Amino acid sequence: MRGIDKNILKQELLKALNGLANKMGSIVIAEGIETEEELGALKQMGITLGQGFLFGKPSEVFPLNKLNK
């Protein structure tokens, strides 16, 4: 998703992919969201799920307690 807020080609490709996913009953998950601007662009395109450094950095310890809930 790097730079999607400034790149029309990436935006159009993601819109097409999201449209196809919707027709198939699937959901697009945006990976690599690093800035508020990228997040805003994704929201405008209807992307509802994502992950990336904007939300949290990777950690060294895997939270095993989360698997047991």
Torsion of the alpha carbons at 33, 36, 42 and 46, rounded to the nearest 10: 130
- Check if the beta carbon of residue 1 is closer than 8 Å to that of residue 31: yes
The average pLDDT across 36-40 equals 96
22-32 pLDDT, tens digit each? 999 999 999 99
What does the pLDDT read at residue 59?
75
49-66 pLDDT, tens digit each? 999 999 988 877 766 665
